[in-house]
Chains A and B, each alone.
Chain A
Amino acid sequence: MTTVVEVDDLTKRFGKFTAVDDVSLRIEENKIYGLLGRNGAGKTTMMQLLTGQQFATDGTIRVFGQSPVENAAVLGNVCFIKESQAYPDDFKPKHVFASAPWFFQNWDADFADRLIADFRVPVNRRIKKLSRGQLSAVGVIVGLASRAPLTFFDEPYLGLDAVARQIFYDRLLEDFGENPRTVILSTHLIDEVSNLLEHVIVIDDGRIIIDESADELRGSATTVSGTKAAVDAFVGKRAVLHREGIGGLTSVTIENVDAADRRAAVSAGLELGPVSLQQLIVRKTSIPETEFGAQS
Chain B
Amino acid sequence: MTTLAQALPASRSNEAGRRTLAVVKLHFVNRFQILYLPLIVLGAIFVLNLAIWWIIVESTGGVNSANRSSSHLGYSGAVSYIYVYGIVIAVQAISRTFPFSLGFGVTRRDFYLGSVIAFVGLSLGFAVVLTIMSSIEIATNGWGLGGRMFAPLFFTNSFWLLRFVMYFCAFLFLLFIGTAGATFYVRWRATGLTIFFGIIAIILLGAVAYFTLGHQWPAVGTWFDQSGPVGVTVWLLAPAAVCALAGYFVLRRATPKN
Contact = CB atoms under 8 A, between A and B. Distances in A.
A85 B109 contact: no
Interface residues of B, number: 41
Interface in A36-94: 48, 51-55, 62, 64-66, 70-82, 84-92
B70 interface: no
Contact of A53 (B15, B33, B255): B255
A227 B8 CA distance: 57
A10 to B, nearest CB: 16
Interface in B99-120: 99-100, 102-110
A3 B3 CA distance: 8
A75 B19 CA distance: 11
A3 B2 CA distance: 8
B104 A149 contact: no
B29 interface: yes
B4 A75 contact: no
B97 interface: yes
Q: Is the interface of A mostly helix, strand, loop or mixed?
A: loop
A84 B103 CA distance: 11
A72 B107 contact: yes
A187 B99 CA distance: 21
A7 to B, nearest CB: 12
A87 B96 contact: yes
Interface stretch (A100-108, A260-268, A283-291): A100-108
A98 to B, nearest CB: 6
B96 A86 contact: yes
A79 B104 contact: yes
A119 B258 CA distance: 25
B30 interface: yes
Interface string B1-43: 1111111110100011001011001100110110000000000
B227 interface: no
A2 B96 contact: no
B122 interface: no
Tell which of A54, A66, A84, A89 has the most Cβ of chain B within 10 Å: A89
A81 to B, nearest CB: 7
A207 B102 CA distance: 26
Interface of A: 1-4, 6, 29, 48, 51-55, 62, 64-66, 70-82, 84-92, 95, 98-100, 102-104, 148-149
Interface of B: 1-9, 11, 15-16, 19, 21-22, 25-26, 29-30, 32-33, 92-93, 96-97, 99-100, 102-110, 252-253, 255-256, 258
What are the 9 tightest A-B residue pairs by CB atom distance, in nearest-first order?
Answer: A65-B4, A102-B22, A64-B8, A75-B105, A103-B104, A86-B99, A65-B5, A88-B96, A84-B258
13 contacts: A2-B6, A52-B102, A52-B107, A55-B253, A72-B15, A76-B19, A88-B93, A88-B96, A89-B92, A91-B30, A92-B30, A102-B26, A103-B106
Given A3-B7, A53-B256, A72-B19, 15 more contacts: A2-B4, A2-B6, A6-B4, A53-B102, A65-B3, A70-B109, A72-B15, A79-B105, A82-B103, A86-B99, A86-B100, A90-B33, A99-B22, A102-B22, A102-B25
